[in-house]
A = this chain, B = another copy of it.
């Protein structure tokens, strides 16, 4: 019998934000796959360490961040092939995703190669911005307000920021200067930012001055339109 693939959202970086469903799935996994990238792999493995089987095999998968799309496509296919081989041996595989597997994740690319041939169960995780808003007791939206999430600074992203009641800015490190310019030329917005939520070194900011300099990779801002 073939094994089952679990895509597991493990939340932003705190073991207690795992769901019961994620814990249950982790316990049945023979192989734990984790993307090999910077500190992300160690954060992910630290979160799940107390829940996995003692003899579970840890597999680090490489996904190069190349600008060449063909390199990225090839690595996804190669990693999917590795997982397929394991599943065919009858082993259950858990693919860990910080945050949620269906929101800006590498898992989703790999899943697409496997979903037609194997049983796949994907388990949601707490988004980083959900954790942030709860940590600082700041409602994102209420009533009929709308929300947007951007992680880039092209024309549509800027329109979303201007037209939504609340805008979540992710991956700010790539557009911190543009965001600083935009916000410093308007007094129509409230700004809050957290870096490394739920991790050691979590920091909170409510002044846009922080955007003048390079910000850490895991920086997320909540930008709310001021109410009339």
Q: Which residues of A contact B (CB under 8 A)?
A: 7, 9, 11, 14-21, 23-24, 100-105, 108-109, 111, 115, 120, 122-127, 130-131, 133-135, 137-152, 154, 156-157, 159-160, 163-164
Contacts and interface: CB of A to CB of B under 8 A. Distances in A.
A123 B134 contact: yes
B19 A17 contact: yes
Given A102-B139, A139-B108, A19 B126 contact: yes
A150 B149 CA distance: 12
B21 A20 contact: no
A131 B139 CA distance: 20
A144 B135 CA distance: 26
A145 B23 CA distance: 30
A69 to B, nearest CB: 10
A130 B160 CA distance: 20
A122 B146 contact: no
Closest 7 CB pairs of A and B: A108-B139, A16-B21, A102-B133, A144-B152, A147-B149, A124-B134, A124-B130
